[in-house]
Structure 1
Amino acid sequence: MDTHNELKHVWVRRQLQELVAGLRPGDALVGERQLEEQFGVSRITVRRAISDLVHDGVLVRVRGKGTFVSHGMVRSTLHLASFNEDMRAAGFEPSTRVISATTAIPPEAAAEHLGLTPESTAHHICRLRLGNGAPVSVDESWLPIRLLPDLLSENLDGSLYRILSVSGHPVQRVEQTVEAAPASETIAALLDIEAGAPVLLFRRRSFTGPGTPIEYSISTYRADRYQISMQLEAPLRAG
């Protein structure tokens, strides 16, 4: 290892951290050439320091636009909690913007989970979820009209789990998968990212009572603002 270059890299990273501390979330970082001249180091050293801060969630790169101060990253452990609970636990103020709330024929996976025939309709709610005013995820939910006839007349700006609980159908069990995916143009516009940017796609099947399906949802999270944390404890096995 080149100790001299490593020390330069650590010093530049600290200088950048101090620089970012004086900026606001969403502010643009000055260009690499200016930083190279300001710190008297090579472009490679500047880029490496910036990459470190991007990895740490301090900075965000936006293709074709530049590097910006991050709005922060929410780290969520694997547990059953609402978006609002996750945000507040991470120190963010949650808010919600309802994009649409209507009845529609759900996609096949949602209809199958809810036990609906191909021609049956369900409540369809699409919401933009924000943390400290910055877009974090787009949530699409399908719920059975039979169990929740008045759902669309409720205030959907808050926790949907709370509404389900008050309605007598609390979520008691969830099956969830997570995968990486590129953002569609529609989702990208809502999340304020480039189309094709990496996102985290959550597919959730929720149940109430003794195995009664109550919700099918797809949540799309900005990968630079949401992180999953897990802890596993088990004896290590050879092989």
Structure 2
Amino acid sequence: MTLPLVDRLNVRADTAMPIYLQLEEQVAAMIADGTLGAGDTLPAERHLASALGLSRNTVQRVYAALRRRGLVMAHGRLGYVVQKPAAVSGINRLKGFTEEMMALGRRASSRVVESAVVTDRSIASIFGLPSETEFLHLVRERYGDGTPLAREVAWYNIEYCPSLAQADLSGSVYAHLASHGAALGHCEQSIEAAFPNAAESAVFGFTSPMPCLLIKRRSFDQKERMIEYVEGLFRGDAYTYRMTLEA
């Protein structure tokens, strides 16, 4: 990492989210986008607490939550280290593309095709907001190990995270949201079969249209505010969803 972990953490006083949860989500986002890789050592509880001006109990709570999520593991005198994720892609919990690729052992990358603040009456209706509401319109091509896997068209309600409009969004949008007090809590997602249009076929390198997966997602933060609406077209010959269902 270019900066130590403590310099990347942002404890906010202008949000109702508890401090331990802010830190948990920020560290989890760094693991998801590869800022923290498998085997990286996290600061000792006492050192991190001192550097952030927090109680040791708060940091202990953060590390305990990350351990329960399978993101870190205890490693003797080293304290906690980032754990290598299981190579399973699933839809039973909220993940972004970057985290999906990480779970599959692939390197995620993106090309931003369009990023602009716009008004759109149809999108405002999806969010249940007035037609004059401004959104960040983001179009990206997503790659796994350099192979084009998806084309995403997304809209974000920038009222809750204005910094998105100026951020570098070639990485994880979810990591940016988490580090700016708008960590996602849940989503409503649908998956259907679809054929790519000419522009999408060109991105995927198809000489003729092939079946793809169209994923539509509405994402909400932990205050139940709708933050994101995204439509992502994933190539069916190179992308698979797996999930575990419990009775």
Deviations 1:14-48 (A, max 9, x none): xxxxxxxxxxxxxxxxxxxxxxxxxxxxxxxxxxx
Following TM superposition, the consecutive aligned residue runs of length 4 or more in structure 1 with deviations greater than 6 angstroms are none
What is the one-letter code of the residue matched to 1:174? C
Deviation at 1:107, TM superposition (A): 6.3
Residue ranges of structure 1 left out of the alignment (5+ in a row): 1-73, 235-239
Q: Deviations for 1:145-170, whole angstroms, at most 9, x for unmatched residues?
A: 32222312111111000011111101
Query: Which residue number in structure 1 is paired with residue 51 of structure 2?
Result: none
Q: What is the aligned counterpart of 1:76 among 67, 72, 89? A: 89
* Contact kept in structure 2, 1:76 and 1:226, CA below 8 Å: no
Alpha-carbon distance in 1 for matches of 2:202, 2:119: 24
Measured in 2, the distance between the counterparts of 1:92 and 1:197 equals 23
Which shows bigger deviation, 141-150 or 173-182?
Answer: 141-150
The code of the aligned residue for 2:94 comes to L
- Does residue 99 of structure 1 match 2:110? no
- The answer to whether the 8 A contact 2:120-2:132 is kept is no
Q: 2:130 aligns with which of 117, 123, 126?
A: 117
Instruction: Name the one with the larger strand percent.
Output: 1
More displaced stretch, 150-159 vs 110-119: 110-119
The normalised TM-score by structure 2 is 0.60
Aligned mates of 2:231, 2:158 — CA distance in 1: 18
Which one has the largest radius of gyration? 1
TM-score, normalised relative to structure 1:
0.62
Mapped partners of 2:239, 2:88: distance in 1: 6
* Aligned counterpart, 1:168: 181
Kindly provide the CA deviation profile for residues 44-65 of structure 1, in whole angstroms up to 9, marking residues without a partner as x: xxxxxxxxxxxxxxxxxxxxxx
Partner of 2:200: 187
Q: What's the CA shift string for 1:71-103, capped at 9, x where partnerless? A: xxx962112112111112111111111111002
**Inter-partner Cα distance in structure 2 for 1:225 and 1:75:** 15
Aligned CA-pair RMSD: 1.8
